[in-house]
Chains A and B, each alone.
Chain A
């Protein structure tokens, strides 16, 4: 079945250093969508990025990710971490086209802590 793997459970970074959170996935569907959701403490998880296009970089709020279907990866990156980036980050996959509804599969999440 479909699955999403986020290797790092906890990442601690010093402010100003680059961020890279790993995400790999498995799916039988060639046109699946990949998402990054961010969950700040005491808030709702919200969408950060999404993509279904191979080898195309997508950006939002300083973060970027490129879907690589050849390696089934969708790593989240940012050039310079900020204290406000501290949050829980989920990588997710949706599949089942043309059924009218979507199934979403989540990774375990990576908790990012940025320190001064």
Chain B
């Protein structure tokens, strides 16, 4: 099974409210990524876990949190949603073989902030 699952697929949130997006994979991949995708823009890497180590991009460091309680599960947490957070959020995993592995994506979680 090479699927990555994301929940929820669609999320409506009010400005200022928290949002929690969930991702799971059963491929025993050691790296899990979260990307933000807005129309006409490249998918933007927000953060990734390599095993238990969280790496966050400098420009989104304070906006997004994440946890990975086990190898299969990774969450993306927004403490206080703003209108600019409206986007598709793509979770992906990779077996982590240097430079040879591909990304396996989930179907995405579409977040709309009102």
Residues of A within 8 A of B (CB): 4, 9, 31-33, 35, 37, 42-47, 50, 52, 90, 92, 94-109
Contacts and interface: CB of A to CB of B under 8 A. Distances in A.
B99 A42 contact: no
Interface string B88-110: 00100010101111111111100
Contacts of A102: 31, 94, 96, 98-99, 101
B102 A35 contact: yes
Given A43-B107, A44-B106, A46-B105, A107 B98 contact: no
B42 A4 contact: yes
A100 B96 contact: yes
A108 B42 contact: yes
Interface stretch (B12-20, B43-51, B62-70): B43-51
A87 to B, nearest CB: 13
Contacts of A108: 40-42
B98 A98 contact: yes
Interface in B1-53: 3-4, 30-31, 33, 35, 40-43, 45, 48, 50
Contacts of B41: 108
Contact of B50 (A4, A9, A100): A100
A32 B99 contact: yes
Given A95-B99, A101-B94, A104-B33, 4 more contacts: A37-B103, A44-B3, A44-B106, A52-B99
Contacts of A103: 45
A47 B92 CA distance: 12
A101 B48 contact: yes
Contacts of B100: 33, 52
Contacts of A31: 99
A44 B105 contact: yes
Given A43-B107, A45-B105, A104-B45, A94 B96 contact: no
A91 B84 CA distance: 25
